[in-house]
Amino acid sequence: MTTTATPTPAATMTTPADPATTTYWTRIDSPLGALLLIADRTGALTSLSVPDQKGGRTVREDWVHDPGRFRAAEEQLRAYFAGDLEEFSLPLRTHGTAFQERVWAALDSVPYGATTTYGGIAARIGASRAAVRAVGGAIGANPLLLLRPCHRVIGADGSLTGYAGGLERKVRLLTLEGALAS
């Protein structure tokens, strides 16, 4: 006699995500629009995007929505937008080329309320003036908008050049920080 096994409910359910490789996400309301925060399994933030951001991330089907993982980020972002926080203290993890990582680390040294130029970032990482265009490309690829303050980088002539989140948002951030007159 041949019998056929009946699938158990567990066998017909979707397999839960592997916690070792799971990507977590949430959205947080802000003056810049709904911020999309993405973190890895350790809780390190890997991306912060604003709506309609050039190169911004979008939620994937296999990611897990878990607002609880982002409580510290939400508290610090709210304090920043309220003018009560000048420096973020959050675990961050990026995956770029060695050059991009050097540029992104240099962004961390630009203080709240200050600006620098693309040439200034090139000098901070020991790159030549000829590398300014490459520095601009790396800054434009910054996955941690706002947390890594690429909005503090301006043109050599003082102009508010490119910002992946849009120039209007760049103006809002620099005004909030006191780097621009309101």
Q: How far apart are CA 107 and CA 151, in angstroms?
A: 9
Q: Report the range of poorest mean pLDDT among 50-54, 74-78, 83-87, 172-176.
A: 50-54
Mean of the per-residue pLDDT values for the chain? 89
Q: How far apart are CA 144 and CA 81, in angstroms?
A: 16
Q: Catalogue the active-site residues.
A: 150
Encode pLDDT of 29-68 as tens digits. 999 999 999 999 999 999 999 998 988 899 999 999 999 9
- pTM (2 decimals)? 0.85
CA 17 to chain centre: 23
CA 135 to chain centre: 17
